[in-house]
Amino acid sequence: MGALPNGDAPPSLRMSAMTSDDLFRYDGYVIDPARHSVACHYATAGRTFTERFTFEPGGDWGDPAVQAAVRLLYLVAGVSYYKTTAAPLIDLGYLAASALERSFLTEYYVHGLGEFALRNGIDLSGLRVTGPDRTDPPPPAYEPERGKPLIPFGGGIDSIVTVDALSLDHPGAALFVVHPPGDRFAAIEDAARVTGLPVRHVEREIDPLVRRSAELGFLNGHVPITAIISAAAVVDAVLGGRDAVVLSNEWSASVPTRISNGHAVNHQWSKGEDFERAFAGIVEATVGARLAVFSYLRPRSELWVAERFARLAPYHRVFRSCNRAFAQDPGERLDHWCGRCDKCCFIDLILAPYMARDELADVFGGTEPLENPDNETRFRTLLALGAASKPFECVGDTDESRAALLLAAQRPDRTGTALLHRLREEVAATAGGVDAAPPASLDTAAWLGPRGAHHIPDRYAPADLLVRAR
């Protein structure tokens, strides 16, 4: 079944007048209920691309709410192909879009590709999104069952803490996992089994041309993958009659990674509050207000998350956040922590105040990053010591890392961790010396309390947030 709303031409009718590098075109999408899949078509520079999502059986693909969710997924998923040329004009083709949707897409492309643009020396500030206009139609009458959240799950400490907090009070919860066709990530599946919750799997098939970027002369770089996963989760949630997509993005995901020429560039932009707010607004406008999309950890620091994860012993030997566990090529995928990347170093640092030295040695299979002096440069980068810049990686705020370091150095079982104490002296020197009281930015108690705004509905909010003004 083809799907282009409001009587627009079917996706088989392609626009072909413009094929230069100056244009990226949305070419339509097709829903195939028999295969419970969605194929999204795009084109630029004379090449066409298709990205396919295959969902688990169930649900009514003819439901207007499902079709509205699919349309949103189609809009969001185009970013992986846009980046091949980074054209200054995005043409939505036959798809009519409201002013709100075009504004959202412009913000999504410009900020979600901020790191990509910086690394490739591209200015996206003049990007335009064009296409047929439509007034904002009323959203479909979507009536989900309350208390059935869908939780995108990556097997790391953030999503594990969210699941632990929600599953007891919401037994209808399910996990949501995206993976390549016929290939699941052990780092996710192992942790998912410990939760005891059902898992909704979605296969995401990227157009093979993208993997030939170097050969074909495409631009390459980071895309806001969390946005694509979130949009796919919205489709699955509506298919299953669920009332919430609950993400696990904490406070520091909103903190820019770099400031370049006066502009904030954030590796984690699609995990930050600006995207969460904008995306939730688009979901409400197109799918309906009864589907909530929010991050359960938005007002929490990574220290808060780590302190709670330290209590969840059943997960300590199965979780993995090392990026090497998620390599697209199975032959390059590790079944253990590498112990040498920015992510490994940050996870070790943030857990070190709350987990025993021996426990973390077990977690990292004898290659705990803090015990390896070769990792000093990576830790200095996380702590912003010297001329080092925060890495383009999903790691916490610099002050979070510094607070964790100072707290870990107080543990009796860390007296022999030479690298930790060498870094502690340097961090303390920037704050007035080893014996000086830490500044407010490094106050542990402050990091363990709620921080900033959140968008958690009362029916899902923990008690300490219900009593706070938002």
Quick one: pLDDT band at residue 438, thresholds 50, 70, 90? Answer: low
> In this structure, are 328 and 358 located in the same domain?
yes
Report the alpha-carbon distance of residue 38 to residue 373 in Å, rounded.
48
User: In the chain, how many domains are there?
Assistant: 3
| Segment holding 76, helix H or strand E | helix 64-77
Residue 79: name the closest of 113, 38, 41, 117 by CA: 113
- Going by their DSSP bridges, the two strands 292-295 and 47-54 should be labelled as unpaired
> In this structure, are 87 and 74 located in the same domain?
yes
Give the domain extent around 75.
23-130
Q: Is the pLDDT of residue 367 over 90?
A: no
Q: Is the pLDDT of residue 227 over 60?
A: yes
> In this structure, are 314 and 290 located in the same domain?
no
Quick one: pLDDT band at residue 11, thresholds 50, 70, 90? Answer: very low
Residue 213 forms part of a structural domain: no
H helices of 287-335, in order, are 302-309
Name the residue with tokens 């500030």: 125
Among 15-24, 234-243, 334-343, name the most confident range. 234-243
| Residue 433, Ramachandran bin (φ over 0: left; ψ between -120 and 50: alpha; else beta) | left
Burial 122-160 (b: 16+ CB within 10 A, else e): bebeebebebeeeeeeebbebebeebbbbbbbbbbbbbb
Look at the alpha carbons of 348, 353, 354, 356 in this order and tell me if their dihedral is positive or negative: positive
> In this structure, are 296 and 307 located in the same domain?
no
Q: How many CB atoms lie within 10 A of CB 393?
A: 18
CA distances from 324 to 284, 341, 342, 343, 464 (A): 36, 9, 11, 10, 36
When pLDDT is averaged across residues 242-263 and rounded to a whole number, the result is: 92
> In this structure, are 178 and 272 located in the same domain?
yes
> In this structure, are 420 and 311 located in the same domain?
yes
Residue 227 forms part of a structural domain: yes
3-class secondary structure, 274: helix
Report the pLDDT value the prediction gives residue 468, as an integer from 0 to 100.
52
Q: Is the pLDDT of residue 288 over 90?
A: yes
Q: Is the pLDDT of residue 6 over 50?
A: no
The pLDDT mean for the chain works out to 89
Q: How many CB atoms lie within 10 A of CB 60?
A: 13
pLDDT tens across 83-121, in order? 999 999 999 999 999 999 999 999 999 999 999 999 999
Residue at which a domain ends, from 300, 326, 341: 300
> In this structure, are 101 and 159 located in the same domain?
no
Name the residue with tokens 């390599």: 327
CB-CB contact of 87 with 42 (8 Å): no
Report the alpha-carbon distance of residue 246 to residue 298 in Å, rounded.
11
Residues with Cβ within 8 Å of residue 52, at least 6 apart in sequence: 37, 38, 39, 40, 203, 204, 205
Residue 77: name the closest of 38, 111, 45, 46 by CA: 38
Among 7-16, 186-195, 390-399, 408-417, the range scoring the smallest mean pLDDT is: 7-16
Residue 368 forms part of a structural domain: yes
- Going by their DSSP bridges, the two strands 23-32 and 37-44 should be labelled as antiparallel
pLDDT tens across 170-203, in order? 989 999 999 999 888 888 999 999 999 999 999 9
> In this structure, are 285 and 257 located in the same domain?
yes
> In this structure, are 108 and 74 located in the same domain?
yes
DSSP string, 50-70: EEEEEPPS-S-TTSHHHHHHH
CATH number at residue 286: 3.40.50.620
Kindly report the CA angle at 382 between 377 and 387, in degrees rounded to 5? 65
More reliable by pLDDT, 447 or 80: 80
When pLDDT is averaged across residues 45-72 and rounded to a whole number, the result is: 96
Report the alpha-carbon distance of residue 470 to residue 456 in Å, rounded.
10
Q: Is the pLDDT of residue 169 over 80?
A: yes
> In this structure, are 284 and 408 located in the same domain?
no
| Segment holding 465, helix H or strand E | helix 463-466
**pTM of the full predicted structure?**
0.92
Residue 141 forms part of a structural domain: no
Q: Is the pLDDT of residue 2 over 60?
A: no
Residue 380 forms part of a structural domain: yes
Report the pLDDT value the prediction gives residue 441, as an integer from 0 to 100.
64
Chain center to CA of 342: 17
